[in-house]
């Protein structure tokens, strides 16, 4: 049985869902959670519900805003004081930025962006996609412990079986050390929707959207079904959407439960970013579009006709 620490990344004092995915998969291990700053009561209850024996809340004057140095120094200092075999995080923007720095500071191995993992006794192995998701490798970590692991959001799914822990909350004064670059301000994006990498439902548009204004029909559908709107590289290169919305090999890699591709042909670059979606729905006028070879459901037709019809039907259901 391994001693495991899970970094609970927060947004407005709410723990991100990928943390619960990891906790569910870790059932049977000795699990503790560490957060930066306070968390709300619901998050604390859920962390305990999914197996956290202790919840360590690191606090310090330099931790009110995210900075790679400050967070890494605080976590490294805390981890050194424990006897953890593994430290987990979601492979979010923060996790991808923070954990390589942490593993380097502690001279330990790091397995990043895993889509699955398993413990067999004391032995750990994970599944990592390579070559744009065309093949999956079994990875193991060697060297001194703790071993660091980041897991792709939505890859594991929310746990069905709950293994409750005590959930004892402990405030910890963090040692941030010397921070050479201070974050003065973080400007929040205009969108209130969940980030693409964490979204459970995504509606994406391609070059067939014709212009940026036409993305409003995708936004309307997204509002109805609680989705986040994405775009293909062709749509971004054409100026229809910002790069922050791009799904694909040179954009964001996503693993939603439902992915609706509207007017997207299914180029290899795009498939690399969304092939791990649980259910793929494709809407395209070309019946021979490559996207249909990967789609679970396909609709051959004009997206400007189909999407509004879907929106109206979803409104009736929801």
| pLDDT tens-digit series, residues 22-79 | 999 998 899 999 999 999 999 999 999 998 999 999 998 788 888 889 999 999 999 9
The pLDDT assigned to 8 comes to 95
The rounded distance, in Å, linking the Cα atoms of 224 and 243 is 24
CB-based burial, 291-302: b 16+ in 10 Å, e otherwise? bbebbeebbeee
What pLDDT band is residue 317 in, cutting at 50, 70 and 90? very high
Q: What is the mean pLDDT of the chain?
A: 91
The pLDDT assigned to 174 comes to 84
The rounded distance, in Å, linking the Cα atoms of 108 and 282 is 43
Residue 268, Cβ neighbours under 10 Å: how many? 12
The residue-averaged pLDDT of 276-305 equals: 96
Tokens of 271: 């498939």
* Chain-centroid distance, C-alpha 151: 8
Contact by Cβ (8 Å): 22, 8: no
The rounded distance, in Å, linking the Cα atoms of 303 and 215 is 11
The pLDDT assigned to 189 comes to 67
The angle formed by the CA atoms of residues 2, 133 and 238, to the nearest 5 degrees, is: 130
What pLDDT band is residue 191 in, cutting at 50, 70 and 90? low
The residue-averaged pLDDT of 188-216 equals: 89
Domain boundaries, the chain: 3-173, 196-317
pLDDT above 90: residue 181 = no
pTM score, whole prediction: 0.85
pLDDT above 90: residue 185 = no
Q: Give the residues across from 286 on adjacent strands.
A: none
The pLDDT assigned to 190 comes to 63
The residue-averaged pLDDT of 255-282 equals: 94
pLDDT above 90: residue 138 = yes
Residue by residue, what is the 3-state secondary structure of 134-196?
A: CEEEEECCCCCCCEEEEECCCCCCCCCCCCCCCCEEEEEECCCCCCCCCCCCCCCCCCCCCCH
Topology classification of domain 3-173: Rossmann fold (3.40.50)
Which pLDDT tens digit goes with each residue over 217-238? 999 999 999 999 999 999 999 9
The pLDDT assigned to 161 comes to 57
The pLDDT assigned to 168 comes to 84
Q: Does domain 196-317 have CATH number 2.60.40.180?
A: no
- Confirm whether 3-173 and 196-317 share one CATH topology: yes
Q: Which residues contact 148 (CB under 8 A, 6 or more apart)?
A: 86, 87, 88, 89, 99, 102, 103, 108, 109, 110, 111, 141
The residue-averaged pLDDT of 164-192 equals: 78
Of 298 and 160, the one with more pLDDT: 298
pLDDT above 70: residue 312 = yes
The pLDDT assigned to 175 comes to 81
Per-residue CA distances from 115 to 124, 255, 261, 290 (Å)? 14, 9, 22, 24
Residue 97, Cβ neighbours under 10 Å: how many? 13
Tokens of 129: 């996609």
The residue-averaged pLDDT of 107-113 equals: 95
Where does the chain have alpha helices with state H? 17-25, 41-49, 68-80, 93-105, 216-225, 233-237, 268-274, 291-294, 303-317
Q: Give the residues across from 239 on adjacent strands.
A: none
Output the CA torsion sign for 218, 308, 254, 155.
positive
Of 3 and 184, the one with more pLDDT: 3
Q: Parallel, antiparallel, or unpaired for β 30-36 and 3-7? A: parallel
The rounded distance, in Å, linking the Cα atoms of 209 and 263 is 7
Of 174 and 262, the one with more pLDDT: 262
The pLDDT assigned to 65 comes to 85
């Amino acid at each position: 049985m391994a001693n495991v620490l899970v970094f609970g990344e927060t947004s407005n004092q709410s723990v991100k869902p990928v943390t619960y995915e990891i906790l569910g998969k870790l059932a049977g291990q000795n699990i503790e959670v560490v957060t930066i700053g306070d968390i709300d009561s619901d998050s604390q209850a859920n962390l305990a519900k999914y197996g956290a024996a202790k919840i360590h809340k690191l606090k310090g004057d330099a931790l009110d805003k995210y900075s790679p140095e400050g967070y890494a120094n605080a976590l490294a200092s805390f981890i050194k004081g424990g006897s953890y075999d593994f430290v987990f995080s979601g492979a979010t923007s923060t996790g991808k930025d923070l954990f390589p720095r942490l593993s380097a500071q502690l001279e330990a191995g790091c397995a990043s962006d895993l889509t699955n993992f398993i413990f067999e006794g004391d032995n750990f192995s994970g599944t990592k996609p390579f070559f744009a998701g065309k093949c999956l490798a079994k990875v193991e970590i060697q060297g001194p412990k703790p071993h660091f692991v980041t897991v792709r959001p939505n890859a594991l799914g929310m746990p069905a079986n709950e293994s409750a822990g005590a959930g004892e909350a402990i405030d910890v004064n963090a040692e941030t050390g010397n921070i050479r670059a201070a974050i003065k301000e973080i400007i929040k994006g205009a969108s209130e929707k969940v980030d693409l990498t964490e979204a459970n439902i995504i509606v994406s548009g391609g070059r067939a959207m014709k212009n940026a204004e036409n993305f409003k029909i995708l936004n309307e559908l997204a509002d109805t079904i609680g989705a986040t709107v994405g775009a293909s590289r062709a749509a971004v290169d054409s100026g229809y959407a910002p790069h922050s919305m791009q799904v694909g090999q040179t954009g964001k890699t996503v693993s939603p439960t439902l992915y609706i591709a509207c007017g997207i042909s299914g180029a290899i670059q795009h498939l690399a970013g969304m092939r791990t979606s649980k259910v793929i729905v494709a809407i395209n006028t070309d019946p021979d579009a490559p996207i249909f070879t990967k789609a679970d459901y396909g609709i051959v037709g004009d997206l400007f006709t189909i999407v509004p019809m879907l929106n109206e039907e979803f409104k009736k259901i929801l």
